[in-house]
Amino acid sequence: MPLANISIERQLHYAEKGEQGGVDIREPSTALLGISSIDRYRQGLNVPQINPITGGLGSALSSPYNFSLTTLGQNLMTGFFTRLAVNEVQFRWTLPTITERNNKMYIYIAPNANFALTAVAHSGTTTTFTLGSTTGYLAGQTIQVLSPDISGRVVSGTYLIASTTPTTLVCNDPNGLPDFATTAVSGNVFVRGLIVVPDGWYDLYNQDITSLSRFGNLALAFQTAVRGITEISSLVSGFLCTYNLPYQGINNSTPVSVNAVGQPYNTFFASNLTTPSNVFFFGRYTDPLRPNAVGLFEMMAWNNSQLRSAFQYSSPNVSLLSTPFVDIVCDQLTANQSLKDADSGDISRTMLCRVFLTPDAFTGNMANLGSNPILIHRTFPFPKQIKWNANQPIGNLQFQVYDSQGYLLSTMEGLSGAPANPPNYFDSDQGDWSMTLLVSEV
């Protein structure tokens, strides 16, 4: 019978006697486990703060993104719990927009649009490429050759020009080709230049900035880096790069901020319109130790498929962050987790948590996120529950922080600076982080 049809007197009777009454629920006993990356320097020192640049009183210099916590003969926690969950994270994103990890990409340029390869020959230690004209190609330039194989010989690759004739490029042979006579082919040849943008924090501006006092403009820094490539300087003296300015026509070498129907905004625009016959395109730089790492090519969002042209657009996916999130990993704390984490990308690993690098209530230009340090604070209302064996203590732990491509977070700028002034450092631009885990008895 529904309670609504029972008198108040009888309802009170049921409540007092426990009939049709509720069931008392008590939350399990919990404890907090606090982790801080700066504790990698503690080594038993009773000090409130250790200088993260120089380390602490003889401590070995180390990274906050790959370190171990040792417990000096005692456990951090001694069992009697079966669950862990990351409750709160504070993460300092202090890696500058551009560092050694992401400051390079390539430009490929064809002087006077002469890129059609018609024949190849090899003799001794030199390879000779035949073009319609070699005007603009110079000894000392590196060229990228795209060619079909010749009788099983791989011809495509990079070569250094030793000398030129009006129709041939005589190059070194880094590929160790066997001798073969002049063979007709249909391929392409481009001069390759390595673009290196100086390290630092960069912003995006919606106007053509040419003053070096505004060198924080990534488009200007990119433009300056391209013009400064010695091997191709004569081919790109009028190279321009702007952000969020539409292209206005082949005769307008300086884009202006007016509406152009059908032209993209929120993109980089690069042009060689003062010498439009020197067509070009961009390519990514591949770090041999981190081949899938996000670099300058990806951050500026240049398209993977580009036509040879006097100008190029990026896509609207420009980002000053080299990674949209970081994964904090501790294999010792997730070792008992039977249900493993997964990812739609190529790399999956079991993690403590994933922290997206977007501050709460962020209202600025999303493209400029990453132009300044960010303090991220996250609380997880429904944290991941990590299984633990009740009779197992928590002892020595190793923590690692990975980027979206599965690489350890790093500036890639080495172990130490000058020996005296400034003092030695280990990736001093890497900020510390901390977290609390909720440990539960059930």
Residue 107: the pLDDT is 97
Residue 61: the pLDDT is 65
- Total residue count of the chain as it appears in this document: 442
Closest by CA to 154, choosing from 118, 109, 192, 122, is 122
In one-letter notation, the amino acid at residue 114 is N
pTM of the entire structure? 0.83
Domains annotated on the chain, with CATH: 26-95+322-442 (2.60.120.1100), 107-194 (2.40.30), 196-313 (no CATH)
Residue 420: the pLDDT is 42
Residue 262: the pLDDT is 54
Interatomic CA distance for residues 350 and 343, integer angstroms: 10
Look at strands 353-356 and 325-329 and give their pairing. Answer: antiparallel
Residue 153: the pLDDT is 83
Residue 48: the pLDDT is 45
Give, for all 442 residues of the chain, the pLDDT tens digit: 555 555 666 655 655 555 555 566 777 788 999 999 988 876 544 444 444 444 444 455 678 898 888 777 778 888 789 999 999 999 999 998 998 889 999 999 999 999 999 999 999 889 999 999 999 999 999 999 999 888 888 889 999 999 999 999 999 877 778 888 999 999 999 999 999 999 889 988 755 545 555 557 898 899 999 999 999 998 998 898 888 765 554 444 444 444 445 566 678 888 887 777 899 999 999 998 899 999 999 999 998 888 888 888 898 888 899 999 999 999 999 999 888 888 887 778 899 999 999 877 666 667 688 888 889 999 999 999 999 998 899 988 999 999 999 999 887 776 544 344 444 444 567 888 999 999 998 7
**Which residues are within 8 A (CB) of 323 and not within 5 positions of it... i.e. 6 or more apart?**
294, 357, 403, 404, 405, 409
Interatomic CA distance for residues 318 and 365, integer angstroms: 11
Estimate the share of the chain in helix, then strand, then coil, as percent rounded to the nearest 5. Answer: 10, 30, 55
